[in-house]
Amino acid sequence: MVSRSSCGVCIEHAESTFRVDGLCCHEEAALLEKHLRRLPGLTALSADVVRQQLRVHHDAARVSVTRITEAVAEAGLRAWPHEEDRARPAVARGWSRGLFVSISGVLVAVGAALGAAAAPRWALAAAFGGAAVAGGLPIVRRALAAVRLRTLDINALMLVAVIGAALVGEWFEGATVVFLFALAQWLEARSMDRVRRSVGRLMSLTPAEAILRRDGQDIVTPVDAIGLGEVIVVRPGEKVPLDGNVADGESDVDQSPVTGESVPVPKGRGSPVFAGTINGPGVLEVRVTRRGRDSTIARIIHLIERAQAQRAPSQAWVDRFAQVYTPAVLLVAAVTAILPPLALGAVWSDWIYRALVLLVIACPCALVISTPVAIVSALTVAARHGVLVKGGRHLERLADVRAIAFDKTGTLTTGRLAVTGVYPIGPMDRATVLRLAAAVEARSEHPIGRAVVALARAEGIGVDAAADFRAWPGRGAEARVGRATVLVGNERLLRERGVDSSPAADIIRSSERRGGPAVLVALRGELVGALALGDQVRAESRPVVTELKRHGLAPIVVLSGDSARAAQTTADVVGADEWYAELLPEDKVDAVVHLKARAGTVLMAGDGVNDAPALAAADVGLAMGVAGTDVALETADVALMGDDLRKLPYAVSLSRATLGTVKANVAFSLGLKAVFLLLAIAGMATLWMAVVADMGASLLVIANGLRLLRFRPTA
């Protein structure tokens, strides 16, 4: 994209993404950012340790992609543009590093064997020196880059520790430290690849090509070259390449990649389909409604990337703590090396060795990685199950939710009128009453008419042809079915036409108490039946409310713009604690604010469009059924891509599990650091023990965070 500034200078704005090999800790990310900010033409950049990714906003006319990769190399790392990295075989990314680590380990073992056999010192020096070189070249390269930039990272600290060990005669320990550190970094990179592969599976849901049907011919075409309104063919078992509506054909489509729904959804003419979903047994012709870059899955992926780039509050705290921790430990190490020999006449080599152990402990890698790996794992597994959380901040806030406010219509209920009961009056049977009503309503466009016809078809009842149809707005309709006139409408219509509706009085009152209308059916001027309608409560609503209460959430509140009877009925059916009716959008905002004042952190669940003000007023706004709805995707903090309300308890459980994992990781990392600080000062810890403890802690917190990738819904 090219734009012109106010002074007439052309600025070629670009956003470039790179894979950065070896980016393994927060210090290296900070070092990289510090160095890159010196480049001209950069407007924004961020380095992501978890995904080993660098995102740069820059003026392409002033700083090119090639210059950025060169600058990354100057910082001791290697970078590939995203497109080139995707083309590289995965095996090419780590085999050489693993080979050098193996060589280092073999040489350490050889050196130990030579030492046990009392070999000459030159042989020991060759073995241990070779081990240090084989395993330590990346360490030296990055350490020198850090020193040039006047920064001390883990590589610089480790290099000083190894050189110090060699100077005090601890060759074996120095070589062992290099090998263990290189091995731990390699294992850590392999572990983090699990997170990246999991995220990558989300990023590669859509095919790059589609079958375009044009002028009766099927042409394999890149999705980027397909325009709106064109027709694509999706064969059985293929992924849908673009969002659209079915123009022809019938099939069942697996929407789990987008909505998390476990059961394939039937699709026919006019049904919407989403890119990234998987076609079932039938062939579908789909008329494209969105280009690839604007598809629902593309927007979801963009939001996931944006969410993963955001720092959670716990992560921000850890980063601030690390900025203080490392300098403090370095100061303690300096005092440990100098003060006892000067003040107490202690042996210099002993206290220098203890200070070297402290240098290794000074690295906060395990502490810094403890939070983002858990957050990214949770965001990824949530998206895989149809729950889009817009960042770590919202995930942690979701874990703190104490009360929930539900919008009634479309959230706890289906939001669509449905026939809840068919009641014959007199000798006529139920099926005949429904058949007569459907015959008249088949000519109507009213939601009540559609609900009546839908029930008849669902029950296999044929819809007879009607003639002389006439609609009475606000009252009902009449038509001739066969040779008889049939009226379908409310009390007012029947009264105007001289039909006695008193036999249906109890049915009418019962339906009104439930918040829905009643429709009366008259044949040849006689009342023959009644139909009760209502906005049906979702089958899963009551179990969901029960599950939320089991999680300790209270009160559960229903907010509705409908009548008091409708709101109370829905609240009673689902088991809510409170209900509020006849609310305007601003009234819902007030209700949420008052609920926050007395209950604490509040989640508001709605459709994300009409409830946008209330969702914004809540601590966490959750919209459901938002697949294909841009406004809802942008409005909500948490979005359920499908209409399955059972994903809400899953999201709450996942958020709490994530926060628990983060706290456990931080506590473990800090506790281990504290123990080894004391052991080092007391002279009870060795260099290799410190490396094993520090890098082992990193591996353990990564493994603990990765467990969240297996978090599954309970229902």
> What residues are labeled active site?
407
CA atoms within 13 A on the CB side of 445: 1
Rg over alpha carbons for the chain, rounded to the nearest Å, is 34
Q: Which amino acid is at 709?
A: L
Contact 529, 521 (CB under 8 A): yes
Range 535-538, long-range pairs (CB < 8 A, 24+ positions): 535/408, 535/409, 535/413, 535/414, 535/415, 535/416, 535/417, 535/418, 535/566, 536/413, 536/414, 536/416, 536/418, 536/420, 537/412, 537/413, 537/414, 537/570, 537/573, 537/574, 538/412, 538/413, 538/414, 538/645
Establish whether the linkage from the previous residue to 138 is cis, with ω within 30° of 0: no
125: its two tokens: 């020096």
Which of 205, 410, 226, 370 lies closest to 301 in space, CA to CA?
A: 205
Judging by DSSP bridges, how do beta strands 251-254 and 278-279 pair with one another?
antiparallel
CA gap 384, 199 in Å, rounded: 9
Residue with tokens 């036999």: 503
Rounded to 5°, angle at Cα 495 from 494 and 500? 80
Residue with tokens 């210090």: 27
CA 652 to chain CA mean position, Å: 13
518: its two tokens: 């009643």
CA gap 394, 307 in Å, rounded: 9
Question: If residue 690 lies in a helix (H) or strand (E), which one and from where to where?
Answer: helix 687-706
- Give the contacts of 382 (CB within 8 A, at least 6 positions apart): 388, 389, 395, 651, 654
Handedness of CA 543, 548, 551, 554 (dihedral sign): negative
3: its two tokens: 């734009």
What is the DSSP code (8-state) at residue 412? I
CA 217 to chain CA mean position, Å: 40
CA gap 44, 46 in Å, rounded: 7
Strand ranges for 473-599 from DSSP E? 476-481, 484-489, 518-523, 526-537, 556-559, 578-580
What pairs with residue 46 in β-bridges? 55
CA gap 32, 529 in Å, rounded: 77
335: its two tokens: 């005092």
CA gap 299, 639 in Å, rounded: 12
CA gap 520, 508 in Å, rounded: 9
CA gap 454, 461 in Å, rounded: 10
Residue with tokens 């084989």: 134
CA gap 318, 704 in Å, rounded: 17
CA gap 527, 506 in Å, rounded: 14
CA atoms within 13 A on the CB side of 679: 16
CA gap 445, 448 in Å, rounded: 8
